[in-house]
């Protein structure tokens, strides 16, 4: 049984531990994502203040984290080598990570389902997300959960990311 809820300040040690695991995984697999002290404690604290941060809890243990925003994403305004499926209002998911001990157990879907419900409750029927082109495990999870590859976007620092969208 999973509980999906907003992140609280008391959750920060568990959330940061999950993010640190992901950063180590990316570094070990030569994926230049979430390196250079990002995301850091300040990033997640800001997500909490903005009401964007959520966790998935199993038996009082946080097993996944994600930021969900309905404020748009300016780097998504220009997409290359493709196009978005819709031009409608959308939710964006950032900083989604699953604890290493729960990877491969369907936790991505378990956190995505309540995010989709949250979107529908807000009258938003599109979710957009981006990831590093070499983050193949995330891309497999996105495909498995009904996301479509849409093209390439560039972050503010110029980093290339592959962009995905799902219509609800």
Phi, psi of 129 (to 5 degrees): -155, 155
When pLDDT is averaged across residues 118-128 and rounded to a whole number, the result is 97
Write the DSSP string, the chain.
-EEEEE--GGGHHHHHHHHHHHHHHHHHTT--SS-SS-S-HHHHHHHHHTT-EEEEEETTEEEEEEEEESS--GGGSS-BSS--S--S--EEEEEEEE-GGGTTTTHHHHHHHHHHHHHHHTT--EEEEEE-TT-HHHHHHHHHTT-EEEEEEE-TT--EEEEEEEE-
pLDDT of residue 51: 97
Structure tokens at 32: 């230049």
With a cut of 90, say whether residue 112 has pLDDT above it: yes
User: What are 18-44's pLDDT values in tens digits?
Assistant: 999 999 999 999 998 998 889 999 999
Put residue 66 in one of left, alpha, beta given phi > 0 → left and psi -120 to 50 → alpha.
Answer: beta
User: What are 139-156's pLDDT values in tens digits?
Assistant: 999 999 999 999 999 999
With a cut of 90, say whether residue 159 has pLDDT above it: yes
Write down all domains in the chain, each with its CATH number in brackets: 2-167 (3.40.630.30)
pLDDT of residue 36: 86
With a cut of 90, say whether residue 96 has pLDDT above it: yes
Peptide bond into 101 cis (omega under 30): no
Average pLDDT, the chain: 96
């Amino acid at each position: 049984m999973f509980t999906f809820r907003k992140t609280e300040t008391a959750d920060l040690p568990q959330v940061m531990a999950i993010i640190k695991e992901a950063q180590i995984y990316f570094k070990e697999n030569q994926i230049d994502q979430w390196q250079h002290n990002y995301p850091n404690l300040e990033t997640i604290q800001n997500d909490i203040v903005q009401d964007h941060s959520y966790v998935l809890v199993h038996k009082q243990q946080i097993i996944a984290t994600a930021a969900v925003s309905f404020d748009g994403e300016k780097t998504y305004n220009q997409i290359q080598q493709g196009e978005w499926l819709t031009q409608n209002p959308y939710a964006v998911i950032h900083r989604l990570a699953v604890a290493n001990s729960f990877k491969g157990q369907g936790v991505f879907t378990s956190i995505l389902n309540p995010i989709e419900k949250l979107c529908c409750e807000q009258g938003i029927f599109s979710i957009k997300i981006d990831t590093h082109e070499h983050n193949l495990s995330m891309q497999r999870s996105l495909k498995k959960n009904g996301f479509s590859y849409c093209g390439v976007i560039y972050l503010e620092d110029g980093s290339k990311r592959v962009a995905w969208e799902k219509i609800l």
